[in-house]
Amino acid sequence: MSEAGGNQTALLCVPFAGAGPSFFHPWRELSAGRWRIASVELPGRERRVMETPYRNVVEAAKNSVDDIVADLGEGARAVLFGHSLGAVLAYELVHLLSTRDVHVERLVVSGSPGPWTQRERRAAGQPDDEFLARVEEFAGFRHEALDHPEMRELILPVLQADCEMHESYVPSTDEPVSVPICSLRGNSDGLVTAEEAQQWRAATTSDFSYVEFPGDHMYLVDQGREVLDVIEAEAAR
């Protein structure tokens, strides 16, 4: 994770299926000093590539929270952002961080139904080629690294584990969080409907807001600056 940054609010980014912290590295420049950008580093990718990836969201959150607290620092203030799988993992982390010395100011979820909605369209358990075809169809996005045999060999097991834990996710508690939630969605997302993205309203006892962007499920690949602008606007409300 990135180095501590004094009293500055951290934007803690939680990666989507198959992604690692490097996806959010460009956000450091795009944030223009508004936040300290930090990322959750899960096993099986980048610097932790030799470690076994998780297959359970709740377990992943519980086993990550100590590292997150140590990275953010004592008395830290944080906004959590998670896309797709990262949204439900961030939701679990908000529950855990509420009992630790980290003040979560807001949860920003992206490309995700509410936490109690089970995924109907599934890819986990399919043969490799069928699995990748389904993931590509769902996301409307194909990572170019999957076309290189060596990279595919590294990425595929992580992507499969991530999809398994996302598709089998059941929240650890029925209690809503007490921080404001903002739900983001690409307006042509074929995986998550506008109604599903607004189910997050029931996941908080605080304020809720909903924002759409032009694009499909992976709209944020090209719109990091716009996403950060919305997060800043939400924080100013």
User: Residue 25 maps to which CATH number?
Assistant: 3.40.50.1820
Residue 173 in any domain: the answer is yes
What digits encode the pLDDT tens for the residues 151-185? 667 677 778 888 888 888 999 999 999 999 999 99
Q: Which residues, at least 6 apart from 117, have a Cβ–Cβ distance to it below 8 Å?
A: 196, 199
Q: Confidence band (pLDDT; 50, 70, 90) for 2?
A: very low
Question: How far is residue 194's CA from residue 7's CA, in Å, rounded to a whole number?
Answer: 36
Residue 4 in any domain: the answer is no
Residue 192 is which amino acid? V
Residue 236 in any domain: the answer is no
How does strand 208-213 pair with strand 181-186? parallel
Residue 114 in any domain: the answer is yes
Q: Look at the chain and report how many structural domains it folds into.
A: 1
pLDDT at 191: 86
- pTM score: 0.88
Answer yes or no: are the C-beta atoms of 188 and 216 closer than 8 Å: yes
DSSP 177: B
For the four alpha carbons of 190, 41, 177 and 230, in that order, the dihedral sign comes to negative
Residue 2 in any domain: the answer is no
Lowest mean pLDDT among 6-15, 125-134, 162-171: 125-134
Domain housing 210: 10-230
- Range 191-194 contact pairs with CB under 8 angstroms and sequence separation of 24 or more: 191/111, 191/121, 191/138, 191/139, 191/140, 191/217, 192/111, 192/112, 192/113, 192/217, 193/113
More confident residue, 124 or 72: 72
Residue 194 in any domain: the answer is yes
More confident residue, 145 or 39: 39
Question: How far is residue 107's CA from residue 177's CA, in Å, rounded to a whole number?
Answer: 9
What's the mean pLDDT when you consider all of the chain? 87
Answer yes or no: are the C-beta atoms of 111 and 186 closer than 8 Å: yes
pLDDT at 230: 96
Of 60, 61, 71, 64, which is closest to residue 36 (Cα–Cα)? 71
What digits encode the pLDDT tens for the residues 21-56? 999 999 999 998 899 999 999 988 888 888 888 889
pLDDT at 3: 40
Residue 28 in any domain: the answer is yes
Q: Which alpha helices (DSSP H) does 98-174 contain, by range?
A: 128-139, 149-167
